[in-house]
Every structure is written in C-alpha cells, then in structure tokens.
A = this chain, B = another copy of it.
Amino acid sequence: MQTTEKTEPKLSELKTRLSEINDIEAAASLLYWDQATYMPPGGAAARGRQLATLQQISHSKFTEPSIGQLLEDLRPLEESLPYDSDEASLIRITRIKYETAVRVPAEFMAKFSMHRTQSYEAWAMARPRNDFALVQPHLEKTLDLSRELANFFPGYEHIADPLIDFADYGMKASFLRSLFAELRLELVPIVEAITSQKPFDDSFLSQFYPEAQQLEFSLKLIEQLGYDFHRGRQDKTHHPFMTNFSIGDVRITTRVYENDLSQALFSTIHEMGHALYEQGINQNYEGTLLAAGTSSGVHESQSRLWENMVGRSIGFWKFFYSQLQSTFPKQLGDVSLDTFYRAINKVGRSLIRTDADEVTYNLHVMIRFDLELQMLEGSLDVKDLPEAWNERYRSDLGIVPESDTDGVLQDVHWYTGQIGGMFQGYTLGNLMSAQFFEAALQSHSEILTEIEQGHCITLHNWLKDKIYQHGCKYTATELIRGVTGANLRIEPFIRYIRQKYGQLYTL
C-alpha cells in the first residue's frame, strides 16, 4: 500500500489540474454556444479572440511538462489497479490525450487554425457561386497541413490513421475501407430495389407548420424520452448541435423550418441522443477527461439510435402520432399513421447528404471518406476532385449533381480543415447504433412494447448502464465488444435495414 500512500496526493493533484482545464474549456464552450444563439453581431470580432485565448490557455496548461511528470509518477498506481477501475482509466485516458497534445507544436496549431478560417471564408463565397476554383488552393493547403499534422505521429500504417485517431481512436483506414466496401456492396442493390418502386408521398410534410407549435411538440417529446431539462435546455441556432458545460448542464439547439415538419422534429431527437449520452455520464467523472463521449462514432450512434431506431419507428408513432395530429389538425387530420410513417422513411436517390434517408445516407458518407483518403495519399489531385465526386455519385447513387454547389462544395467539413478525421464517424455511428440496439433488444424484448406505450425507460437505462455512465473510460472498440459481445460489424445494420425497409418496400 506504500504505492497508494505515495501516489494518492499525485492523483489528487492531477484531478485538480484537470478540473481547472475543464473549467476553462467549459467557458470556451459557453463562448461558442452564446455565439451561436444570442450574441449580437457586434460581439463577433472580440468573441473570436476570446475563444482563441481560452483554447490557447487550456492547451498550454494541459501540455505543461509537470502534467507529463504527474502521469509518469502515477504509473505504479495505474499498474496496481484493475484496467477499468476509475483511477486507472483516468490516468490511462489522460496519458493518451496528453501524449497526443504534446506532439503538435503550438505554432502549428495557430497556423492551421488561421488557415481554417481563411479556407472557410473562401468556401462561404465559392459555394453560392458554384466556383470550385476559389477553394482549390485552400484545399490543397489543407491537405499539406493535414499531412504535416499526421507526420507528428510517425509509424502509422496509413497517413489518415493519426487524423482518424483524433475522433475515432484506434480505427484504421484499412479496416474502415474494407468495412465500408462490404457495406456498399450490400446497400447499392437495396437502394436499386427500392428506387425502382413508386416513391412515397411526403408532400404533406411541406405544408405550413407554425414554429411555436413545432417547438412545443418536440420539447414535450424529448422530455418524455428522458432528456432532463433540469440539466439542459434547448435554444435556436442556424445549425443544430449539442454542447455541455458540465454533466449538470448539457444543452441542445435546433432550427425550425415552417415549411418542413421533419427538420426540427428529427434534429431535436438527434441532438437529444447526443445529450442523453453526456447527461448519463457518471457524476464522479465531473471535471476530468473521462466526462465525455468516447468517440465520434459512438456519439453519433446515440444520436442516430434515438433519431432513427426510436424516432422513425412505427411503434413510436403508434403512440405519438395522435398527439402530433392534435397539434396540427389542419395539416395532418386527414393523413393516416401509415402514410405519415412512410413519408418519414421515404428512400430516394438524392444529392445532399444531410437530407438523405437511412438507407442511402452511408453511401454519401463513404464517397467522401474514400475521396479524402485518396487525396491524402496523393492518388487524387484536388483539381480532379469535382470529376471524381460526380463519377462516384453516378456509380454509387445513380445520380449526378448539376453543379458543384450541390456536389463537392455541399459540406463545410473539408473547407474548415477537417480532412480524414470526420466523415467516418457518421457511418460508424450508424453501424454501431444498429449493433447496440440489437443487443438491447436481445436483453430486453420489452423495449419495443414500451416504445409503443410512449416511453423508453428500459432502453434508456440499458444505454446508461452499458454506455453512457462510462464516459470515455472504454475505447469504442472495447465498448462495442463489451456491450455486444462482438467486434464492430455491418450485419446488425443490414438486418435492421432489411427488416424495416422490407416491410415498407418489396426487397
């Protein structure tokens, strides 16, 4: 026990230091939330500077050599404790993040950050003008910088691997490529089968739905699904997101289109899924690095599980549709449950990823993932990107954008410097959501009955117990294996799609 006596004060010092850094990051998150919700335009210039200052202070405090020394001093304690004890996990996860943070020089971060802003500004001009040439030099520079960033982590198998690690730790380009290729092979024929049939009518979703009622209904909905308003709130923003300032304050935002009922409704459930994850983290982790979702993929698995597997299921609407009809009697009074259910699950070949249905969504994502890997490798030149993009849309989705605006310029990600570390999370999330949901149903078949009764207590508790409470104690890979007893695989997702869409269409 001498180890413990010597290391206890060190552990407590580490927690104090991390808590201070966490406070700074919470303040930075609030600066961002405020910028996106309530800040008057005149605050913009100073806000950018304030955000940069707080991020710089937090980074510099986290990368102090004394943190490294503490982590070294704590090795004996870590090794004396079970791998998944809270203490060993805290030390392990902090070390992983510390070792990542110290490898990237502050000057590089500042340079990349400045470039990101310039590149974003070029994109904001280029997209409405359909002018890819405007962003081309910026994207080329982003690729150079991304490779430089990756090279701070030598010894990788693929140059994208270190970039993927930032968001989905431990996932490798080679694994993802073959996983995604398998998935594409399954999905393309399903999409073909569906789109050769008569499309569902969803025109009634585009009637006028007043904002106030949309907001009221969706707030009622997520309260019933388990979102804790004592520890959260919803505000309006241009792009919906989830953010948190502590485990006790996890907020979501939404946007409302008065001529599109599905926008606010499903984005609210989506962000609520992210929020349930963060609200469910063990309170003891407050102020440490463990108090966060474990990866982009696992986070997205929760938003998609709640949005799609729950929120677009027939059982869910068997309960809630009459309430929706009462809220919008003029618009939905004559629309049957079956017609509504089909409309919110309409599958089609479309150009815009963010509007895509569950079946085609991953095809959109995989196109981006493959192309960014090719660009990072150098096997695809930026100047040839628009053509490659259109070619892939033709082969995978059977549709070609008429302009780059609706093609290669549609997503902001690449143009804010996110290359090779972002898109995979969306498809990983979809695959994981199905694998987790299948495991939940195998343990608790009553989940589907409960959904038909308008609540998700068993499902929510199961997710809290298996996933949420652990924060980022386990990597995504460990979590999936631990929770589902198997490695990540495409079968549960394909089974889910075949079953749900097999009932909606002839497959």
Q: Is the CB of B34 within 8 A of A30?
A: yes
Asked, given contacts A47-B249, A246-B45, A249-B47, whether A231 binds B40 with beta carbons under 8 Å apart, the answer is yes
Q: Which of A19-27, A154-162, A469-477 contacts B (4 or more CB under 8 A)?
A: A19-27
Q: For the complex formed, measure the closest distance between the CB of A27 and the CB atoms of chain B, giving whole angstroms.
A: 4
Tell me if A315 counts as interface (CB < 8 A to partner B).
no
Chain B residues, CB < 8 A from A20: 53, 57
Inter-chain CA distance A49–B22, complex, in Å, is 10
Asked, given contacts A231-B40, A235-B38, whether A248 binds B46 with beta carbons under 8 Å apart, the answer is yes
Given B42, B228, B233, which contacts A38 in the complex, CB threshold below 8 Å? B233
Inter-chain CA distance A233–B257, complex, in Å, is 24
- Interface flags for A28-55 (1: CB within 8 Å of B; 0: not) read 1011001000111111111101100110
Closest chain B residue, CB of each to CB of A33: B34
Q: For the complex formed, measure the closest distance between the CB of A47 and the CB atoms of chain B, giving whole angstroms.
A: 7
Interface set, chain A 281-311, CB cutoff 8 A to B: 286-287
Closest chain B residue, CB of each to CB of A54: B27
Q: Is the CB of A24 within 8 A of B53?
A: yes
Tell me if A83 counts as interface (CB < 8 A to partner B).
no
Count of interface residues, chain A, beta-carbon cutoff 8 Å? 40
Inter-chain CA distance A27–B46, complex, in Å, is 11
Given B28, B232, B248, which contacts A45 in the complex, CB threshold below 8 Å? B248
Q: Is the CB of A249 within 8 A of B23?
A: no
Report copies per complex.
2
Inter-chain CA distance A439–B220, complex, in Å, is 57
Tell me if A152 counts as interface (CB < 8 A to partner B).
no
Inter-chain CA distance A251–B40, complex, in Å, is 9
Inter-chain CA distance A47–B27, complex, in Å, is 9
Tell me if A62 counts as interface (CB < 8 A to partner B).
no
Q: Is the CB of A228 within 8 A of B50?
A: no
Asked, given contacts A43-B231, A246-B45, whether A50 binds B27 with beta carbons under 8 Å apart, the answer is yes
Q: By CB atoms of chain B within 10 A, which of A40, A41, A230, A232 has the most?
A: A40
Chain B residues, CB < 8 A from A38: 38, 233, 235
Given contacts A24-B53, A40-B248, could you give 14 more A-B pairs where the C-beta distance is less than 8 Å?
Answer: A23-B50, A24-B57, A27-B30, A27-B50, A30-B31, A38-B235, A41-B231, A42-B248, A42-B249, A43-B246, A46-B245, A46-B247, A46-B249, A47-B246
Residue contacts A-B, CB under 8 angstroms, 24 given: A19-B49, A19-B53, A20-B53, A23-B53, A23-B54, A26-B50, A27-B28, A27-B31, A27-B50, A27-B54, A30-B30, A30-B31, A38-B235, A40-B229, A40-B249, A42-B230, A42-B232, A43-B246, A45-B246, A46-B246, A46-B287, A47-B245, A47-B246, A50-B246
Q: Enumerate the 9 nearest inter-chain pairs by beta-carbon distance, A residue then B residue, closest first.
A: A43-B249, A42-B231, A46-B246, A42-B248, A23-B53, A27-B27, A23-B50, A42-B230, A43-B248
